[in-house]
Amino acid sequence: MMDQPRCSLPDIIGTSELMRRRKRYAHSGSVWPVKELTWKVRSYPQASSLSPDLVRTLLFYALQAWGNASALTFREAPGAGADILVDFSRSFHEDGYPFDGPGSTLAHAFFPGEHPISGDTHFDDEETWIYDPQAKQQGQQGVGGGLAGGT
């Protein structure tokens, strides 16, 4: 069985940020205009051994847990577009928030809303992403129930 995800896509996931957000929950006040959201993985990790199917499976369970804890439902989009586009990107990737290479910031996501980038979630592809079901117990950083990044 999958572990319960440890977080529901905070805006920034990183070593120091993760520690800070445990103490102070970030709430932007922005909300989704609809409750039924679609998601799509637009690009997959190039530098890690995670298969596209596993990435999609992990995100499915992460979003299912988010849905269970909220009024939202999530469905993988059949076409190209989606409310939540997921990318594994490096350095500068056209959103003004360049990644910093291995370590530190691991991922970030945009707050809900009606802008095209709202909800989009980016993972730093210079991290080594692994699937580790034990990550929760070991106290490692984990996203989506065991998707862990590190150097």
Residues belonging to the binding site are 7, 83, 93, 95, 100-101, 108, 120, 122, 124-125, 127
What is the contact mask toward Zn ion in residues 38 to 77, using x (rule: CB under 5 A)?
----------------------------------------
Question: How many DSSP H helices and E strands does the chain contain?
Answer: 3, 8
Using the minimum distance from each CB to Zn ion, give the nearer residue, 75 or 90. Answer: 90
Using the minimum distance from each CB to Zn ion, give the nearer residue, 60 or 97. Answer: 97
What is the contact mask toward Zn ion in residues 82 to 101, using x (rule: CB under 5 A)?
-------------x-x----
What is the SS3 assignment for 14?
strand
Query: Does residue 122 belong to the site contacting Zn ion (CB under 5 A)?
Result: yes
The enclosing H or E element of 15 equals helix 15-23
In DSSP notation, 93-148 reads -SSS----SSSSEEEEEPPSSSSTTTT-EEEETTSEEEE-TTHHHHT---BTTTEE
Using the minimum distance from each CB to Zn ion, give the nearer residue, 4 or 92. Answer: 92
The least distance separating Zn ion from the CB of residue 138, rounded to whole angstroms, comes to 27
Of the candidate spans 5-13, 16-24, 117-125, 133-141, the one that interacts with Zn ion by CB under 5 A turns out to be 117-125
The enclosing H or E element of 73 equals strand 73-76
Residue nearest to Zn ion (CB): 122
What are 13's two structure tokens? Answer: 């996931």
| In contact, 125 and 88? CB cutoff 8 Å | yes
Kindly list the residues in this chain that would bind Zn ion in the complex (CB under 5 A).
95, 97, 122
